[in-house]
Amino acid sequence: MKSFKEVAPEVEATVVWHKDFKSVNDWDAVVIPGGFSYGDWLRAGAIAARSEAVARLSEAVARGIPILGICNGFQVLVEAGLLRGAFLPNEHGRFVCRWVRLRVERPRGPWLKLAEDGVEVHMPVAHGEGRYYVSSDEYKELNSSYPIIRYIPEQNPNGSSYDIAGLGSRDGYVLGIMPHPERAVTPLLTPRGFRPGGELIFRSISRSLKSGW
Partner 1 sequence: MGLYRVVVVVSYKKGLKDPEAETIYRDLILKHGYRAVKELRIGKQFTLLVEAEDSEKASSYVRELCDKLMIYNPVIHDIEVTVYS
Maximum C-alpha span of the chain: 44
CA distance 40 to 33: 14
Residue 109 CB neighbours (<10 A): 21
Bridge partners, residue 78, by sequence: none
Return d(Cα 41, Cα 115) in angstroms, integer: 35
Q: CB of 127 within 8 A of CB of 87?
A: no
DSSP per-residue string spanning 31-73 = EE--S-SGGG-SSTTTTGGGSHHHHHHHHHHHTT--EEEETHH
Q: Which is nearer to partner 1, 135 or 145 (CB)?
A: 135
Closer residue to partner 1 in complex, CB, 88/119: 88
Name which position in 2, 5, 22, 92 contacts partner 1 (CB under 8 A): 92
The binding track of 158-187 with respect to partner 1, each residue x by CB under 8 A or -, is -x----------------------------
Q: Does the annotation mark 71 as catalytic?
A: yes
Minimum distance from CB of 195 to partner 1 (Å)?
A: 32
79 binds partner 1 (CB under 8 A): yes
Selected range binding partner 1 among 9-17, 53-61, 103-111, 132-140, rule: CB under 8 A: 132-140
Catalytic residue chosen out of the listed positions 71, 105, 122, 129: 71
Residues belonging to the active site: 71, 180, 182
Binding site for partner 1 (CB under 8 A): 42-43, 46, 49-50, 79, 85-86, 88-89, 91-93, 133-135, 159
